Amino acid sequence: MRTVVVVGAGPVGLMLACELGLAGVRPIVLERLSRPTGQSRALGLHSRTVEVLDQRGLLDRFSEGAPVWPKGHFAGMRLLELDQLDGRHTYALMVPQSRTEALLEERAVELGADLRRGHELLGLAQDADGVRLTVGGPAGEYELAADYIVGCDGGSSRVRKLAGIGFPGNSSTLNAVLGDVQLDQTPTGPHLSRCSGGVFGTVPLGGDRYRIVAAEFVPPTAHRDDPVTLQELIDTTRRVTGLDIEVGETYWLSRFGNATRQAENYRSGRVFLAGDAAHVHFPAGGQGLNTGVQDAVNLGWKLAAVARGEASEELLDTYHAERHPVAKRVCHNTQAQLALMNPSPSVDPLRDLFAELMAFREVNKFLSEMITGLDVRYPMPGGGAEHPLLGTRLPDWPLLVDGESLGAMRLLHAGQGFLLDLTGGQRTPELTAAAAGRVRVVTATATEPNRPEALLVRPDGYVAWIDGDLETALQAWFGSAMVTTQFRV
């Protein structure tokens, strides 16, 4: 078994640790902070992330006490109707990032992750035999050998810098601050407004606690790491809105910008990047954390398969090929949203026209799927003709399996791929012979009409084959039948 080191114990690093652990690989997670900050830059989980939690059997932990929000927005204009989307989880789940991290850490430790808090990556060198790391810990520096390392260590990623991976893009051109504060006023619901001086938003955090966001379309007034004062938040809000806010207790203050950058490569030999280490952008629509979690789910099963010796290194190249275009599109749509939020009167006609277009159901759905990540579709070699499901996520169809009624998501709880026979067993012998021990075959009966007879589903829940060359699809995702081991029970 090969060693995998994950750098960073934020939501992305912890989700990756969960995926690796579920697949039988015990990762080492290095986190430079000795304890969680308790801060929550992100506040919600989009539909696709909710689906991932469901397919791993974790949704109950996250949904307990969490408000459901069936709406979204694009550039602060007409609301996106998330409840009109296809699927079962057509909403955003309002879970603060600190709780997301705590629940994912709990699960990662359950699955055997070696979480080392207060351990900071200092050096990295790789060759054909592995990666050599220099780590600073509470007891001093030490050396750590690994086969693979994944940087989930944020926009200023040390892993990315030490690996020499380029991070081209644009620096921030606006001044934005946020604060989690106590307000005597009671704004209603999440709210984002384009004002004469910029953009202003409020998000209820429970009780009389609110998040205030104020962004000016002027160059940053301070370095991103400079602390924000309450007076700066009040002054920025006044310049943006023309209003004076009355703030009680202050819980957290921070600043952000619209820097938009993406790593040239998500893989450099034995080094990988995920989350903000691979892509940063303006936080429009809450897409950052969710895109990073999807990075982790895409990479985890592939890295585990190679670490277990069940797949070739070529499988790892599909990580960049699949995820780089997704984040590129996120960077593009956040830049488009920011352009539409510019307070200049010259933007007004464009906003008016865009708002009219968003009133069309098809446009609203298109943008909703883009923001939530439900529109992601991967190319699938050997997958077959252009079936609408090929390359997309497996719907949570109601099935009858061994006399039990269950949703298709249940079949993904173990984190394994499978061939699904929906004919009630007619194709099971044929599929079992083709699988040749590489994946399990699940015999089921679809309880609703118009379902394909059979599907190949990857461990991340994406449909990889329906009616094409099954052997090509199996080799692409699960290796050659001559060299792989039996699937794990």
| Element (DSSP H or E) covering residue 455 | strand 454-457
What is the DSSP-derived secondary structure letter of residue 46? -
| Answer CATH for 398-478 from 3.30.30.60, 3.40.30.120, 3.40.50.1100, 3.40.50.12500 | 3.40.30.120
| C-alpha–C-alpha distance, residues 207 and 214, integer Å | 21
Whole-structure pTM over 0.85, yes or no? Answer: yes
Tens-level pLDDT at each residue, the chain (489 residues): 789 999 999 999 999 999 999 999 999 999 999 999 888 999 999 999 999 999 999 999 999 989 998 888 899 887 888 888 888 888 999 999 999 999 999 999 999 999 999 999 999 999 999 999 999 999 999 999 999 999 999 999 999 999 999 999 999 999 999 999 998 776 656 678 899 999 999 888 888 899 999 999 999 988 888 999 999 999 999 999 998 888 989 999 999 999 999 999 999 999 999 999 999 999 988 899 999 999 999 999 999 999 999 999 999 999 999 999 999 999 999 999 999 999 999 999 999 999 999 999 999 999 999 999 999 999 998 777 678 999 999 999 999 999 899 999 999 999 999 999 999 999 999 999 999 999 999 999 998 888 999 999 999 999 999 988 999 999 999 988 654 443 332
Q: At what angle do helices 348-358 and 314-341 cross, to 10 degrees?
A: 120
Please report the DSSP string for 349-370 in residue order.
Answer: HHHHHHHHHHTSHHHHHHHHHH
Distance CA 109, CA 101 (A): 12
Gyration radius (Cα) of the chain, Å:
23
Residue 365 CA from chain centroid, whole number: 20
Per domain, the residue ranges of the chain are 4-170+261-372, 175-257, 398-478
Beta-strand runs (E) in 243-324: 247-256, 260-262, 267-268, 271-273, 279-280
CATH architecture, range 4-170+261-372: 3-Layer(bba) Sandwich (3.50)
What are the CB-based long-range contacts (under 8 Å, 24+) for 220-227? 220/172, 220/173, 220/174, 220/175, 220/255, 220/257, 221/175, 222/255, 224/172, 224/255, 224/256, 224/257, 226/255, 227/253
What number of H helices and E strands is found in the chain? 12, 28
Rounded distance, CA 147 to CA 159, Å? 15
Distance of alpha carbon 232 from alpha carbon 177, whole angstroms: 8
Residues β-bridged to residue 179: 212, 253
Q: Which residues contact 205 (CB under 8 A, 6 or more apart)?
A: 43, 96, 180, 211
CB 392 within 8 A of CB 376: yes
Distance CA 414, CA 136 (A): 35
Task: State whether residue 135 is helix, strand or coil.
Answer: strand
* Beta strand residue intervals within 120-243, DSSP E: 120-127, 130-137, 140-146, 148-151, 169-170, 175-183, 191-195, 198-206, 209-216
Q: Find where tokens 């397919």 sit.
A: 55
SS3 151: strand
What pLDDT was estimated at residue 485? 40
> C-alpha distances in angstroms, 183 versus 44, 176, 180, 230?
21, 20, 9, 13
Tell me which residue of 270, 265, 263, 262 sits closest to 303, measured CA to CA. Answer: 270
- The tokens for 160 are 């990315």
Decide if domain 175-257 falls under CATH 3.40.190.170. Answer: no
